[in-house]
Amino acid sequence: MAGRLLGIARHGRPRGPIETVEHLHVSIDGGLDGDFRGAVKPGGKGRRQVSLIRKADWTAATAEIGVEIDWWARRANLLVDGIDLFETEGTIVCIGDDLKLLITQECDPCSRMDEISQGLKTALTPGWRGGALARVIAPGDIRVGDPIEIEIGDT
């Protein structure tokens, strides 16, 4: 099953401004270049290095509450389309030529979502609609438009 990378976003500090980019490097130790969440802390597991959200899930959640909001307001790093990548910890997401991400857990929506628009947290809650978190297991350069493939991991 092949999909496509539709967007890349990063933020350099908690609650900092979101920057969307067309391409960047993703490393095992640092995650997305320029994103504060990617650095693995000493003794840490890096379970939250990269966050992903499916376009269909974001569209459904915002439609449910009757608003149009840019996907990056979710503060996710990667917007993906055309794949079923969530609801299974241990799934491996391959983006572009080299990058491999291991899905570690659901990205539960926080109360900040209701600061963006009332009801958004609830709309993002069912069925991993809020996205997934991942750890980088193979580094790589990614670009908007890159193909995405799914593997099932052995974690």
CATH number at residue 16: 2.40.33.20
State the residue range of the domain holding 123: 2-152
Helix H or strand E segment including 9: strand 2-10
Confidence at residue 84, expressed as pLDDT on a 0 to 100 scale: 75
What percent of the chain shows pLDDT beyond 90? 70
pTM: 0.91
CA distances from 113 to 38, 42, 63, 76, 132 (A): 21, 30, 15, 12, 16
Query: What are φ and ψ of residue 59, in 5° steps?
Result: -60, -45
Whether pLDDT at 153 is above 70: no
Note the pLDDT tens digit of each residue in 45-72.
777 899 999 999 999 999 999 999 999 9
Confidence at residue 124, expressed as pLDDT on a 0 to 100 scale: 94
Give the total number of structural domains in the chain. 1
Cα Rg of the chain, angstroms: 14
Residues forming beta bridges with residue 152, ordered by sequence position: 91
Confidence at residue 86, expressed as pLDDT on a 0 to 100 scale: 60
Whether pLDDT at 85 is above 60: no
